[in-house]
Amino acid sequence: MNFEFYQFTTAGDRDSNQDCMANLICAEFALLVVADGLGGHQAGEKASRYFCQGLLQLAGSYAGKMQEKPETTIADWVDGAIEEMKRSFSGDPDASQAHTTCAILFVRDDFLVTVHCGDTRIYRMNPREICWRTRDHSVPQRLLDQGEINEQQMGTHPEQNQLTQSISIMKTHRPEIHVYPSPQQGETFLLCSDGFWEHTKQHEFLRLASPGVTKNIISKQIKLSYLRAGGHSDNITLQWLRAL
């Protein structure tokens, strides 16, 4: 399977960028990950970076086993990445307060797997519709599920940053894993931190799934999300993948 791929990240209006992104795209599979660090400036930066690094370091051990038991294998892969993260934090005083969200997409030509924890999202889209997005582990997601707010209100809700799950060396929460049918030609996958989705409208997501999308169009949408934050933009990270 062939892919078209772009990725972007910016600190927004923050002093530092606690988001981290990584990818590994080869003939057999594509692995994408976006992580949004939590727990203070240095702790958050380290948590997201160490987690992404751990996933890539272990790709050689797990990617080849994904076809047999994808859900179990990727759960072990993530667990191994957290162990790598723990080793990277060894002796670091920031370790106890370091957390990160994560959104991981693993794609083969016969299936795909999503892993997420927190409010960093994965969208699966075609030019007609958003097929699905991952459900946030957050207070606003609970309110949406209960019918108290709508999708567009999630990004501006006062409790938007209140997460119910995150990744840390304590392994308090287990990420959510799903296995889906293989990607169809022309489908678009979008991984993004909350700095992007909270100021992006539903029809604008669909625009990013249209056939004529270019790197410049995606960049302009990121700029629009930044401007809508009115000088209070969070870090913004986005990965865009299309099956060709």
Domains of the chain: 3-243 (3.60.40.10)
Give yes or no for a contact between 243 and 1, defined as CB atoms under 8 angstroms apart. yes
Q: How many CB atoms lie within 10 A of CB 61?
A: 12
For residue 182, pLDDT beyond 80: yes
- Structure-token match 């986005």, residue found: 238
Q: What is the pLDDT of residue 34?
A: 98
User: What number is the average pLDDT over the span 115-120?
Assistant: 98
For residue 41, pLDDT beyond 80: no
For residue 233, pLDDT beyond 80: yes
Which residues are CB-contacts of 28 (< 8 A; sequence separation ≥ 6)?
Answer: 63, 108
Give yes or no for a contact between 128 and 145, defined as CB atoms under 8 angstroms apart. no
User: What number is the average pLDDT over the span 36-58?
Assistant: 95
For residue 112, pLDDT beyond 80: yes
Angle between helices 41-57 and 70-88 (to 10 degrees): 130
For residue 88, pLDDT beyond 90: yes
- Structure-token match 């501006």, residue found: 156
**Average pLDDT over all residues of the chain:** 96
For residue 40, pLDDT beyond 90: no
The pTM of this model reads: 0.97
d(CA 183, CA 107): 8
d(CA 221, CA 118): 23
Q: What is the pLDDT of residue 167?
A: 98
Give yes or no for a contact between 158 and 148, defined as CB atoms under 8 angstroms apart. no
User: What number is the average pLDDT over the span 9-30?
Assistant: 96
Q: What is the pLDDT of residue 10?
A: 98
* pLDDT classification of 237: cutoffs 50, 70, 90: very high
User: What number is the average pLDDT over the span 213-217?
Assistant: 97
